[in-house]
Amino acid sequence: MRKSGVRDYLRAAEAAALLHVSPKTIGRWAKEGKVAHIVTLGGHRRFSRADVERLVRAMESSSADGRVASVGS
């Protein structure tokens, strides 16, 4: 049985893979406040799966329109 909420959050590497960026980039975006995250007791960042999926869709739609996606605006 799965604990409620455990997979609702992604590790930085998982979020970065979905966004097609490096883990360093997602970490920088988090530090700059461009992507919401929480910090675990161990000091690791976790990203809401729903927020990351929303950002993926926004980036895809911007790309399809020929626009450059802007994170955090």
**Residue 4 resides in a domain:** no
The letter for the amino acid at 49 is R
Contact 10, 53 (CB under 8 A): no
Cβ–Cβ contacts within 10 Å for residue 23, how many? 15
**Residue 19 resides in a domain:** yes
Which regions of 1-73 does DSSP assign to beta strands (E)? 9-11, 38-39, 45-48
**Residue 28 resides in a domain:** yes
Q: Domain total for the chain?
A: 1
CATH code, 27:
1.10.1660.10
pLDDT at residue 39 in the model: 96
pLDDT at residue 31 in the model: 95
Sheet with strand 9-11: strands edge to edge = 9-11, 45-48, 38-39
pTM here is 0.75
| Residue-number span of the structural domain to which 41 is assigned | 11-63
pLDDT (tens digit, 0 to 9) for every residue of the chain, 73 residues total? Answer: 445 555 799 999 999 999 999 999 999 999 999 999 999 999 999 999 999 999 999 988 887 666 555 566 5
pLDDT at residue 7 in the model: 78
**Residue 47 resides in a domain:** yes
**Residue 46 resides in a domain:** yes
